[in-house]
Chains A and B, each alone.
Chain A
Amino acid sequence: MLAPTDYEAILLSLKVGVVATILALPAGFATAALLAYGKFRGKTMIEIVVNLPLTLPPVVVGYLLLLLLGEHGALAPLLHFLGLRLIFTWKAAVIASVVVGFPLLVRAIRISLEAIDPALVRVSRTLGATRRDALFSIVVPLSMRGILAGSSLMFARSLGEFGATVLVAGNMPGRTQTLPLAIYEYASAPGGERAAGVLCAVSVAISVVVLFFHEWLGRKAAQRDRGR
């Protein structure tokens, strides 16, 4: 029913989603913390930059990434020096996902950070916790709901990513073709309706699983916060 390249597209989509989410998490948490607790000039500017990919068409994001990471892009000398080739590889798809999903991740974590009573951190310090200790024993556990919510949103967004990915990673079956790109290809070629339909069904199934997982984790974290 499915061609080998279709399986590869499904696996690649999952891989890109997982890698993008894991890579974005530390920076997403740090950015959320900066925006939640930081008091500095230029904070609004950072907020705008972080949220920009949310409002820009993904194609614009892709094009800007192309200008940055392409053969003659702004970062080309650095990438050459590091021996890295990102453009038209699955890694570029990861970068595209990170950029478009980042605002969702930051937003969810930031909301949960802002809900933490800052006095709890102060109390933990007077009880002997270092800054780092307070971060991992108080802040991270209490923002876990936001971290999980943000991660699953980001993962879901990555699964659906099309516009930026097609520009920076291309649409090479077996190499950079993700699920949405495969569906696009089937849908735009005559006779591909059936295969497109099957992949759409797979896409729906993955999304339902992710959303179930998201709900389940959220409920578990809420139970824990409300008390066992």
Chain B
Amino acid sequence: MRLEFSARKILGDFALDVSIAAPGDRVGLFGPSGSGKSTIVNILSGLVAPDSGRIVLDGESLFDREKGIDLPPELRRIAVVFQHPHLFPHLDVRENLLFGWKRCPPALRRIGLDPVIEALELETILPRAVHHLSGGEQQRVSLGRALLSSPRLMLLDEPLSALDDSLKYRVIPFLRKTFDDFAVPFLFISHSLMEMRLMTDRVAVLDRGRVVEETGAEALAVGRMGAGGAAYVNLLRLSVPRMRNGLSVYRWGGTELAISGGGKAGETVFELSARDIILFRKHPEAISARNLLDCRVIRLHEFDGRIGIELACGGERFIAEVMQETATELDIRPGTVLYAAIKASAFREIL
């Protein structure tokens, strides 16, 4: 997917002036509420016309003020999944699913009903009225309905913010797998840094109607370290564990991690708070933590009284966070060799 998007729009005292060139199939749009994310969704999908600008998707002009091009929403083939499912109340689940499919020209239909029903586990609820569905079911139907319109691009406008954390982490792998399987590129819009890191590769950061940064999702997380007082969270994608003394042991770069919990086959994503890592200047002979990693300091990130220490260990990188004072006492600087102790219970399985 290649999207070139530039638009200016004045709405009351809010001014949007944005230019995004998004290559790749998993692009994020990150910003606080009121930064213009939803305005961009409306402009991209053709529901709102910008005052000026140009939108080109995969070589086709969707909007060009100068050339007088403004494709109506129904011809853009950009589907939107909103925070709220917005199912059609007078149609049952099957009719909702087929709404966009019926309106997609047959030659352009790439996605069929059966694979979607199977992927989103909708078989049992097909004849049901939408009022009788749970929130999660409604959101799945909404996603299926959008997919079945065979869109060239899908806009996911805060689709997870209505869900609580545990449900959210169950939905994310589902979303990723669905979009991979059906090869539908998406623009993922959210104010949650964690969602950005789990869903997208490239991220455009919005603030008060402007793109202030275009970066990788991980780089964004590192750059925002300490924002809002929360600790940086390391995300570790680990697979193929073996069991040892009741702990799951995963290979991680050139070393191993012992983790309590985990153990499922396939890839598991664990989070590890940067504040749950204890650093030693010298090898501690005996400690209770199950993991002691031999690492080297690559870079230091300073932010209000704390320091994020980027560490390399057996080809992998992670970040530990300490107070400024500690860093000075231990004389930590790039190149310093440290020992990082991590309890097996400090890892939290999220996906």
Contacts and interface: CB of A to CB of B under 8 A. Distances in A.
B103 A126 contact: no
B86 A120 contact: yes
Contact size class for B? 20 to 34
Contacts of B88: 120, 123-124, 138
A189 interface: no
B43 to A, nearest CB: 12
B94 interface: no
B259 interface: no
Interface string A187-228: 000000000000000000000000000000000000011111
Interface stretch (B13-21, B75-83, B287-295): B75-83
Nearest to A224: B90
A228 B104 CA distance: 27
Nearest to A228: B129
Contacts of A126: 45-47, 73-74, 76, 78-80, 146, 149
B131 A226 contact: yes
Contacts of B74: 125-130, 133
A96 interface: no
B158 to A, nearest CB: 14
A54 B73 CA distance: 40
- Between A127, A138, A225, A226, the greatest number of chain B beta carbons within 10 A of the residue's beta carbon is seen for A127
A123 B86 contact: yes
Contacts of A141: 90
Nearest to B132: A227
Contacts of B47: 122, 125-126
SS of B interface (majority): mixed
A119 B131 contact: no
Nearest to A128: B103
B146 A125 contact: no
A124 B74 CA distance: 8
Contacts of A94: none
Contacts of B77: 128
B130 A227 contact: yes
Interface string B122-162: 00000011111000000000000110010000000000000
Contacts of A228: 92, 129
A76 B84 CA distance: 56
Given A141-B90, A228-B129, A128 B80 contact: no
Contact of B129 (A117, A124, A227): A227
A9 interface: no
Interface string B20-63: 00000000000000000000000001110000000000000000
Nearest to A141: B90
B129 A127 contact: no
A18 interface: no
A142 interface: yes
B145 A127 contact: yes
A172 B74 CA distance: 56
Nearest to A125: B73
A131 to B, nearest CB: 8
Contacts of B46: 125-126
A119 B46 CA distance: 14
The 5 closest A-B pairs by CB, nearest first: A227-B129, A128-B103, A127-B100, A125-B73, A227-B131
20 contacts: A120-B88, A123-B82, A125-B45, A125-B47, A125-B73, A125-B74, A126-B47, A126-B74, A126-B78, A126-B149, A127-B79, A127-B99, A128-B77, A129-B99, A138-B88, A142-B89, A225-B90, A226-B131, A227-B92, A227-B132
